[in-house]
Amino acid sequence: MRIALFITCVNDTLFPDTGRAVVRLLERLGHEVVFPAEQTCCGQMHYNTGYRRPAAKLAVRFVKTFDNADAVVVPSASCAAMVRDNYPRLGATGSRLSRKMADLGPRVYDLTEFLVDVLKVTDVGAYFPHKVVYHPTCHGLRFLGLEDRPYQLLRAVRGLELLELPGATECCGFGGTFSVKNGDVSAAMGFDKARHVTGTGAEVLCAVDNSCLMHIGGTLSRQRSGIRIAHIAEILASTEKEYAHT
Amino acid sequence: MSATFLGLPPFPEAAREAVGDSQTRHNLHKATHTIRGKRDAVVGELGDDWQRLRSAGEQVKTHTLRHLDHYLEQLEESVRRAGGTVHWAADAAEANEIVTRLVRETGEQEVVKVKSMATQEIELNNALEAAGITAYETDLAELIVQLGEDLPSHILVPAIHLARSQIREIFLDQMSEWGVPAPPGLTDDPKALAEAARVHLRELFLRAKVAVSGANFAVADSGTLVVLESEGNGRMCLTLPETLISVVGIEKIVPTWSDLEVFMQLLPRSSTGERMNPYTSTWTGVTPGDGPQNFHLVLLDNGRTDVLADTVGRQALRCIRCSACLNICPVYERTGGHAYGSVYPGPIGAILTPQLQGMSSEADRTLPYASSLCGACYDVCPVAIDIPEVLVHLREQVASSPGHLGEKAVMAGADAVFGSPKALDAVQRAAGLAGGNVPRHLPGMAGKWTDTRDVPDVPGESFRRWWNEREEER
């Protein structure tokens, strides 16, 4: 299958390892990955902060860039939700643009959804000998409805010990510009999330959104907790071969 | 003078104070998590039926709001036919004038009150006080707030921010100022506190000639008003006095009596986490020889028709004031209700207050941003109000208003960078060259991040550069 990767601006700039992991993983599973060069950002930050027009411009760019793709895989639940839930609201009702957006939406997948629902695979042949805790991000949990897909994938990883995160369904407090507009509340939420993570005894915190991980990870790092963050793609891409080399 | 929400600071400022208050944080965490647990259990036991009930509730409300002109006239006619008098109030000032005049006409100087959001919204108690009329709150939590000269911080549990020991202090200090004093050896045992309130209130119930209430629902075809409550104090007010004045928002209508069957399931399960609330009182106009012999219904607009004109925002009028969105909200849990500067706190307040009273003040303009858009409120809302959608809609109104120059500059900058892959690449390269030299403490708005969190190092190579190099090698 030919899969178009939408890397997202945050991953492209700050977490290229996640992108490399997605490519490695999908190619290992026997698929072709393409990276349409015209892509930039989905416009979520603009949209969520109330800047509709620039968000709509980025939505148009996204539609133009990915219009012909059979499947668009996004290693970010929140960006996938932006495209699927919010793009149709950006075009005028009944316009050609809103029809195109509504048409493209169902072909846009979060990575874990794509693996489980489209490729029908839960054991991706990964090896990751660590204690891991999974934080279900709000967009994965409540907007995309990923349910237990990420857990299915993680449980099939050899060597991985999956620990339970108390208060898992509660928001970490990132919320895009919320993290600075309401920095104090955001930090209070992040502290509580970090406390729950630390309490599990995990070595690695993983999620389907690097932006949330950047917030929780930034808090864990400030607390010198020793816990590292990893996008779920990096865990799923990891194999025994790589561990043998290190 | 009673406390007022007027002139409170903008949300982020008020929230900073609140998140630092350890006692309040503890009280709120405990209370919201207890109610959450109860709600989850009684909603969960209904299985798929819950979503069907929720959808029915949404549809009844949406239909009623679409034909509100018709149902309002029908309600007016039904109430008149049943012996009540109907008054129309365009705003808070008019509603307060009407109620004050009606109380004066009875010759009484005091009223007992049933817990009511509408009368809190219009700050009726302050208006009555200015006219020399004392309003006694009889809901236990409202009584605590009133005695403590405090402000309500929750729709259902106005004193949620207080611990038992604080309530004991308030009772001991203040009850004697208003009537029967608290017993000298009062402990903070819930039973003892409730007994002190019972004795204090009983005198008022037996004395009062006038009661003021709101209503959870107003049935258009029968003219019946409905109040759901837990304590029975509301029923005392609704049955013992000679005159009853009910102030009801125009969105509280349901078309028929049988529509109530949906809401009698949705409301208690969502609010107190009970299958059924202990007291449900209904009254239809006046019944000779039974209950109040003078009944006045004051129908309150106070911004509601403006909200109705907004095709995205109008869904907020479906709200049945259950508080499930407050109890689930991670922001509310950490800030409490006072930070929202309104009688309507939490997620519903963040969309209702700016719509009802407009966003002319800086404080009001911060409310739509008082959310991480986590979506938990929409999930639990029994009438499926898409609160995140309305928050974003209101943010668009704020962003298109004057001011916020710093933020607009940032957004315009991002707009330019994301406008072309080349511009994005250039920025990524510059940031990558700075690499590990990102300062630990950033200036300006970004400082809000680095105050509490570390920033990740910017990698030397973006994903797109790596991809392009890989393609060239192939």
Q: Do A222 and B454 touch (CB under 8 A)?
A: yes
Q: Domains in chain A, please, with CATH?
A: 2-118 (3.40.50), 131-245 (3.40.50)
Given a cut of 60, whether residue A71 has pLDDT beyond it is yes
Q: Mention every residue, 6+ apart, whose C-beta is less than 8 A from residue B33.
A: none
Q: Decide if A36 touches B, using CB distance below 8 A.
A: no
Task: Return the residue of B nearest to A178 by Cα.
Answer: B372
CB pairs under 8 A between A and B: 182
Nearest to A38 among B374, B421, B449 (CB): B421
Q: Do B463 and A19 touch (CB under 8 A)?
A: yes
Chain A residue numbers with beta carbons less than 8 Å from the beta carbon of B454 are 217-218, 221-222
Q: Decide if B183 touches A, using CB distance below 8 A.
A: no
> Which of A11, A18, A4 has the alpha carbon at shortest distance from A206?
A18
Our CA dihedral for B418, B424, B427, B428, rounded to 10 degrees, sits at 120
For Cα atoms B179, B119, B254, give the angle at the middle one, nearest 5 degrees: 130
Mean pLDDT value across residues A9-18: 97
Given a cut of 90, whether residue B431 has pLDDT beyond it is no
Q: Decide if A137 touches B, using CB distance below 8 A.
A: no
Q: Decide if B340 touches A, using CB distance below 8 A.
A: no
Model pLDDT for residues A168-225, shown as the tens digit of each residue: 999 999 999 999 999 999 999 999 999 999 999 999 999 999 999 999 999 999 999 9
The pairing of strands B279-284 and B224-229 is antiparallel
Assigned token pair, B116: 């009511």
ipTM of the complex: 0.96
What is the Cα–Cα distance from B343 to B120, expressed in whole angstroms?
7
Given a cut of 80, whether residue B214 has pLDDT beyond it is yes
Nearest to A16 among B12, B20, B461 (CB): B461
Model pLDDT for residues A120-176, shown as the tens digit of each residue: 999 999 999 999 999 999 999 999 999 999 999 999 999 999 999 999 999 999 999
Chain B residue numbers with beta carbons less than 8 Å from the beta carbon of A178 are 369, 371-373
**Confidence (pLDDT) at A93:** 74
Nearest to B453 among A39, A182, A215 (CB): A215
CB atoms < 10 A from the CB of B289, how many? 6
Q: Do A12 and B424 touch (CB under 8 A)?
A: yes
What is the Cα–Cα distance from A240 to B62, expressed in whole angstroms?
57
Residue B373: left if φ>0, alpha if ψ -120 to 50, beta else—which one? left
Q: Decide if A185 touches B, using CB distance below 8 A.
A: yes
- A133 bridge partner residues: A163, A205
For Cα atoms B70, B294, B147, give the angle at the middle one, nearest 5 degrees: 100
Q: Do B466 and A12 touch (CB under 8 A)?
A: no
Q: Which of B25, B351, B372, B389 to mutate to test the interface with A (most CBs of A within 10 A)?
A: B372
Distance of CA A144 to the CA centre of its chain: 11
Q: Decide if A158 touches B, using CB distance below 8 A.
A: no
Q: Do A185 and B335 touch (CB under 8 A)?
A: yes
Distance from CA of A175 to the nearest CA of B (A): 4
Instruction: Identify whether the C-beta of residue B241 lies closer than 8 Å to the C-beta of residue B102.
Output: no
Instruction: Identify whether the C-beta of residue A175 lies closer than 8 Å to the C-beta of residue B371.
Output: yes
Chain B residue numbers with beta carbons less than 8 Å from the beta carbon of A14 are 456, 458-459
Q: Decide if A46 touches B, using CB distance below 8 A.
A: yes
Q: Do B374 and A175 touch (CB under 8 A)?
A: yes
Chain A residue numbers with beta carbons less than 8 Å from the beta carbon of B429 are none
The percent helix, strand, coil of chain A (3-state, each to 5) is 55, 10, 35
Burial readout B27-50 (b: 16 or more C-beta within 10 A, e: otherwise)? bbeebbeebbebbeebbeeeeeeb
Q: Decide if A223 touches B, using CB distance below 8 A.
A: no
**Confidence (pLDDT) at B436:** 64
Model pLDDT for residues B359-370, shown as the tens digit of each residue: 999 899 999 999
Task: Return the residue of B nearest to A183 by Cα.
Answer: B448
What is the Cα–Cα distance from B108 to B230, expressed in whole angstroms?
28
What is the Cα–Cα distance from B301 to B95, expressed in whole angstroms?
9
Assigned token pair, A9: 């601006």
CB-facing half-sphere around the CA of B127: CA atoms within 13 A = 18
What band does B338 get if pLDDT is binned at 50, 70 and 90? very high
Helix/strand/coil (H/E/C) assignment for every residue in chain B: CCCCCCCCCCHHHHHHHHHCCHHHHHHHHHHHHHHHHHHHHHHHCCCCHHHHHHHHHHHHHHHHHHCHHHHHHHHHHHHHHCCCEEEEECCHHHHHHHHHHHHHHHCCCEEEECCCHHHHHCCHHHHHHHCCCEEEECCHHHHHHHHCCCCCCCCCCCCCCCCHHHHHHHHHHHHHHHCCCCCCCCCCCHHHHHHHHHHHHHHHHHHCCEEEECCCEEECCCCEEEEEECCCHHHHHHHCCCEEEEEEEHHHEECCHHHHHHHHHHHHHHHCCCCCCCEEEEEECCECCECCCEEEEEEECCCHHHHHCCCCHHHHHHCCCCCHHHHHCHHHHHHCCHHHCCCCCHHHHHHHHHHHHCCCCHHHHHHHHCCCCCCHHHHHCCCCCCHHHHHHHHHHHHHCCCCCHHHHHHHHHHHHHHCCHHHHHHHHHHHHHHHHHCCCCCCHHHHHHHCCCCCCCCCCCCHHHHHHHHHHHC
**SS3 of A88, please?**
helix
Q: Decide if A35 touches B, using CB distance below 8 A.
A: yes
Q: Decide if A181 touches B, using CB distance below 8 A.
A: yes
What is the Cα–Cα distance from B62 to B44, expressed in whole angstroms?
25
Our CA dihedral for B397, B363, B347, B215, rounded to 10 degrees, sits at -100
What mean pLDDT, rounded, does chain B reach?
95
Q: Do A50 and B398 touch (CB under 8 A)?
A: yes
Mean pLDDT value across residues B91-109: 98
Q: Which of A186, A191, A228, A231 to mutate to test the interface with B (most CBs of B within 10 A)?
A: A186
Amino acid (1-letter code) at residue A194:
A
Q: Do A50 and B15 touch (CB under 8 A)?
A: no
Our CA dihedral for B141, B146, B147, B152, rounded to 10 degrees, sits at 60
**Confidence (pLDDT) at A1:** 84
For Cα atoms A168, A170, A173, give the angle at the middle one, nearest 5 degrees: 120
**Confidence (pLDDT) at B7:** 78
pTM of the model: 0.96
Task: Return the residue of A nearest to B336 by Cα.
Answer: A185
**Confidence (pLDDT) at A166:** 98
Distance from CA of B338 to the nearest CA of A (A): 14
- B256 bridge partner residues: none
Chain A residue numbers with beta carbons less than 8 Å from the beta carbon of B413 are none
Q: Do B372 and A46 touch (CB under 8 A)?
A: no
Q: Do A19 and B372 touch (CB under 8 A)?
A: no
Chain A residue numbers with beta carbons less than 8 Å from the beta carbon of B431 are 13
What is the Cα–Cα distance from A86 to A143, expressed in whole angstroms?
11
Q: Give percent of chain A with pLDDT exceeding 90.
A: 90
> Which of B142, B140, B101, B141 has the alpha carbon at shortest distance from B119?
B142
Q: Decide if A24 touches B, using CB distance below 8 A.
A: no
**Confidence (pLDDT) at B404:** 82
Q: Give percent of chain B with pLDDT exceeding 70.
A: 99
**Confidence (pLDDT) at B1:** 44
Task: Return the residue of B nearest to A184 by Cα.
Answer: B16
Task: Return the residue of B nearest to A219 by Cα.
Answer: B453
Containing H/E element for A79? helix A77-81
B residues 81..140 contacting A (CB < 8 A): none
Task: Return the residue of A nearest to B454 by Cα.
Answer: A218
Query: In sequence order, what DSSP letters do the residues of A136-151 get, joined into one string?
Result: --HIIIIIS--TTHHH
Q: Decide if A210 touches B, using CB distance below 8 A.
A: no
Q: Domains in chain B, please, with CATH?
A: 11-304 (3.40.50.10420), 405-473 (no CATH)
What is the Cα–Cα distance from B299 to B246, expressed in whole angstroms?
8
What is the Cα–Cα distance from A163 to A173, expressed in whole angstroms?
21
Task: Return the residue of A nearest to B431 by Cα.
Answer: A13
Assigned token pair, A116: 């489980």
Q: Do A190 and B414 touch (CB under 8 A)?
A: no
Q: Decide if A58 touches B, using CB distance below 8 A.
A: yes
CB atoms < 10 A from the CB of B383, how many? 24
What band does B443 get if pLDDT is binned at 50, 70 and 90? confident
**Confidence (pLDDT) at A243:** 81
Given a cut of 70, whether residue B408 has pLDDT beyond it is yes
Indicate the angle between helix axes B421-434 and B463-473, nearest 10 degrees.
Answer: 110
Distance of CA A231 to the CA centre of its chain: 7
Given a cut of 70, whether residue B159 has pLDDT beyond it is yes
Distance from CA of B301 to the nearest CA of A (A): 28
Given a cut of 60, whether residue B343 has pLDDT beyond it is yes
- Phi then psi for residue B218, to 5 deg, are -130, 120
Instruction: Identify whether the C-beta of residue A175 lies closer than 8 Å to the C-beta of residue B372.
Output: yes
